[in-house]
Structure 1
């Protein structure tokens, strides 16, 4: 019997904007030979000046680092970080370069364009600071060549995890898409799905997700696990905003990384202690690197659907992209009692590996050429044990919480939060009452006002109360 067929439930938690090296690079050790950090990796202040000072990686990142949200647009941020191009060099290009990325422009982009301290963008975490994520990596499988599906921002990469394409979208003004998604394929095959969300589900911008999956508050997840009614596929959305006395737990810079550790631990513990543990696989990954440092250059891939992407910088310079190169490397761990301890998977993956795994397990067709490509090295080989392990941790705990920080209703919006407000408008056009609420939220640029607007949009869409199975 194929051991993958022992898995009936797949749970995916996608967090925000952290690179592999930033969170896990310093886990590299003689007994754990991942593609991590040696400790001497560096970036120049100016990649185009041989005499420029260099800044070396360090393992002293704090939970709120980097303090300035790094750039993570396709153009200019990813272009600069990947290739170390000066503004003048970028202005001469019409397409993403064909040459392998050098990853030499992180400091230049962070310091020159955003005004951040250069040493801050090279800070990475000591493993003991992230005991939950690092324990899962050692106890189960780590994928040390998992890249975001496209260079650039959150929303295109989250589209890829659902639809194996971004429809040519690279970021900028938010759009709603009706592309087929893995939720649609699963529903047509008679399989159950759900999105579990904390405050605002970003996947509402995917009309196929709305049409084919219930949106359930995160509190419902523990009940579904306890009752044995967990769907075949569950996608978990973190809390993106500070609100109602709770801090965002998506780990988006500079949100508190410790809050994300708590979320990962609570999810693992709920699955581990449920009657479904032996039949469930958990995947924890990140939508994109968010401009945090990583040494691994992104490899080539296949265009999913023939579309060409375009993005212009602040000066209006347009760069085109064939979606034939992956984005930046991100953390990814796969958890199941059918996976041997300390499994290291160094094959190239991107977010469409999730769709490819579901397609193989449930006999589904491919969505695009990208998940077909991902299926050539699919994750099913990780589930190699004939019998479930009995030595897996019964529970995990993050480091002791620090003194509770005040949740600021008036905290300014980060880039993702602004995009979520922007995208919601496309879902409720011509609603005068919501238009006024949105204008107030955007003018104030406060998280409290933004959440009020977004949750009102959700209510108009019928999201905000439990839906689906009982």
Structure 2
């Protein structure tokens, strides 16, 4: 009897050792790259490799040239010309500018929105483009805000999507500009900031970030940055501001703790670390903004493609690939049109509000309880499937937003949720495979030359 029990224990131990490991054991390195200012419809709306993509092909999506005359001079979206590499104009992507694109007014009634009595009409993008960039009546130029790239324009980005997981219902957290959204990505709130104000320049935000949270848990991280164009990776106070500082420097903790000197590095360090297998548990990459590699107008789309290709191939060719998850997203829609209604009545990151002066000279106050437009987001790893189109979230608030990134990291590394928004945003661990793929591409296509 004792021998049988011992044998049973040995058998159970053998079965346990052969059982598949948890997804948490398989993902040791998370790499996040946040590009700039492209809505889902603008960048991925022209993809045709899957009929499951909620994009622009075959869709009639139109705006009037003047929203005050909604039945006159109707312009509909179309694919961009083959040689289109640089957007002529940078659309208004302030909170009020985005509201105009969605609701045809800078001042939508927020109470009616909350009660479900006011939905976006999505008719104001074309009008606001003319107002913001000073070319009234120029339909050809203004229609850039509605038009979309094809796979021929962006072969690198399309190949990433085709080979991995593309989200077509991933929303930016703020219907507004870059830095408030990047704060939601890295801390689950913008602490009441709704514009790219000086609070983001150097340690102006007081809230706990994912960077502080990881350090407190002894989990390694580096913020690799090409944003300032110098080897240090950031711009010190007193230096000319030629771009944005890397996102970890938003936070006072990063300065006060000394992490600015130990955990913020220039982009060349990323390539060196990827090649040597020295990437930390969490790598967060800032592109330059806004002239060459970020895709933010007027950054050429081809140079952005080159940057994406270089980051992917460095990861894929490095010794840590089989334990890596690479998340590529875009910080916000950049004012470009998208045909899907952003979610409303969502938990804000905190109770703070933001007020700005709209183009009509009147103030508008925003409480962060509605999301911005969809942005293209791709998960890449040998642990995710090929050609997967992911729609709504499967847990929590059943919605993917930028706060899904810190929410996922909380699941992966047993961290607390930073804010009500991260506690609500869906995570995506259900997408992981039980064993790694062996067919992930080592290289991506050549960049299109214009």
TM-score (norm 1): 0.79
> Where does the alignment leave 5 or more consecutive residues of structure 2 unmatched?
1-20, 136-140, 229-244, 393-398
Pick the aligned partner of 1:184 from 206, 212, 231. 212
User: Secondary structure of the equivalent of 1:295?
Assistant: coil
The 3-state SS of whatever aligns with 1:26 is coil
The match for 2:351 among 290, 306, 311 is: 306
Q: CA deviation at 1:254?
A: 1.7
Of residues 380, 383, 387, the one that matches 1:342 is 387
Q: How many residues align?
A: 388
Answer yes or no: is 1:354 the counterpart of 2:405: yes
| Shift in Å, 1:379 | 1.4
Answer yes or no: is the 8 Å Cα contact 2:152–2:448 preserved in 1: no
Structure 2 vs 1, CA of residues 252 and 95 (structure 1 numbering), >3 Å: closer, same or farther? farther
Whether 1:267 aligns to 2:288 is no
Structure 2 counterpart of 1:228:
277
Contact persistence 1:269–1:394 (CA under 8 A): yes
Q: What SS does structure 1 have at the residue aligned with 2:171?
A: coil
Q: Give 2:338's aligned residue.
A: 294
The 3-state SS of whatever aligns with 2:170 is: coil
Match for residue 15 of structure 2? none
Helix, strand or coil for the counterpart of 2:328?
strand
Inter-partner Cα distance in structure 1 for 2:110 and 2:437: 52
Residue in 1 that maps onto 2:4: none
User: Are 2:125 and 1:106 aligned?
Assistant: yes
The SS at the match of 2:364 is strand
- The answer as to 2:93 corresponding to 1:72 is yes
Unaligned runs of 5+ in 1: 243-247, 403-470
1:23 Cα offset (Å): 0.5
Report the CA distance shift for 1:345/1:209 in structure 2 as closer, same or farther (over 3 A).
farther
**Residue 66 (structure 1) shift:** 2.6
Give me the whole-angstrom Cα distance separating, in 1, the residues matched to 2:215 and 2:79.
Answer: 45
Structure 2 CA distance for partners of 1:286 and 1:312, relative to 1, 3 Å: same
8 Å CA contact 1:130–1:398 kept in 2: the answer is no
Q: Give the secondary-structure state (helix, strand or coil) at the position aligned to 2:128.
A: helix
Q: Which has the larger radius of gyration?
A: 2
Going from structure 1 to structure 2, the CA distance change for 1:387 and 1:93 (only over 3 Å counts) comes to: closer
Q: CA deviation at 1:353?
A: 0.7
Match of 1:208 in 2: 253
- Counterparts in 2 of 1:293 and 1:94: CA distance versus 1, 3 Å: closer
Measure, in 2, the Cα distance between the counterparts of 1:52 and 1:172. Answer: 36
- Tell me, yes or no, if the aligned pair for 2:154 and 2:448 is still in contact at 8 Å: no
Aligned-pair distance for 1:167?
Answer: 0.5
2-structure distance, mates of 1:27, 1:238? 24
Structure 1 distance, partners of 2:181, 2:59, is 29
2:435 to 387, 399, 404: 387
Displacement of 1:223 in angstroms is 1.8
* Structure 1 residues 218 and 84: alpha-carbon distance in aligned structure 2, compared to 1, 3 A threshold: same
Distance 1:372 1:197, change over 3 A: same
3-state secondary structure, aligned to 2:401: coil
Cα RMSD between the aligned structures?
2.0
